Amino acid sequence: MSGIHADDQPLTLSGERFTAVYHLSGVATAIQARQRAQDICLEQTVEFPDELIPHAAIREQIVGQLAALEPLDQDRWEAVIRYPVEVAGRELTQLVNCLFGNSSIQPGIRLVRFDLSERLAQFYRGPRFGQAGLRDRLGVRHRPLLCTAVKPMGLRPRALADLAYRLALGGIDLIKDDHGLADQVFCPFDERVTHCAAAVDRANRETGGHTLYVPNVTAPAPEITRRARFARAAGAGGLLFCPGLAGLDALRALADDDTLDLPILSHPAFQGSFTLDPRSGVAHGCLYGQLNRLAGADATIFPSYGGRFAFSPEDCRAIVDGAVRPMGHFRPIFPVPAGGMRLERVPELVDCYGRDCMLLIGGDLHRGDDLVKNCRMLLETVTAAAGRSQD
Residue list 14-43, contact with a second copy (CB under 8 A): 39
Stretch that binds a second copy, among 3-11, 135-143, 230-238, 314-322 (CB under 8 A): 3-11
Write out the binding residues for a second copy, residues 100-129 only, by CB under 8 A. Answer: 100-107
Contact 315, 110 (CB under 8 A): no
Stretch that binds a second copy, among 130-138, 194-202, 263-271, 323-331 (CB under 8 A): 263-271
Nearer to a second copy, 172 or 385 (CB): 172
Stretch that binds a second copy, among 46-54, 126-134, 140-148, 204-212 (CB under 8 A): 46-54
Residue from 37, 150, 175, 242 in contact with a second copy (CB under 8 A): 242
Residue from 30, 90, 136, 373 in contact with a second copy (CB under 8 A): 90
Residue from 78, 366, 376, 381 in contact with a second copy (CB under 8 A): 366
Is the bond into 152 cis (omega within 30 degrees of 0)?
yes
Backbone φ and ψ of 18, nearest 5°: -115, 170
Contact 338, 303 (CB under 8 A): yes
To a second copy, the closest distance from the beta carbon of 272 in angstroms equals 3
- Least Cα distance to 11 among 49, 34, 45, 51 occurs for 45
Write out the binding residues for a second copy, residues 130-149 only, by CB under 8 A. Answer: 149
Nearer to a second copy, 140 or 245 (CB): 245
Q: Could you tell me the strand order of the sheet in which 334-338 lies?
A: 239-241, 264-266, 299-303, 334-338
Nearer to a second copy, 71 or 220 (CB): 220
Residue from 66, 137, 191, 309 in contact with a second copy (CB under 8 A): 309
Nearer to a second copy, 55 or 325 (CB): 55
Contact between 155 and a second copy per CB under 8 A: yes
Provide the H-helix boundaries in the chain: 30-43, 56-61, 92-100, 118-121, 130-138, 157-169, 189-207, 221-234, 243-246, 248-256, 284, 292-294, 313-324, 346-353, 371-389
Residue from 32, 65, 97, 389 in contact with a second copy (CB under 8 A): 97
CA 13 to CA 133: how far, in whole Å? 37
Contact between 178 and a second copy per CB under 8 A: yes
Q: Which residues contact 133 (CB under 8 A, 6 or more apart)?
A: 127, 263, 298, 331
Residue 338's CB is within 10 A of a number of other CB atoms, namely 22
To a second copy, the closest distance from the beta carbon of 325 in angstroms equals 23
Contact 351, 337 (CB under 8 A): no
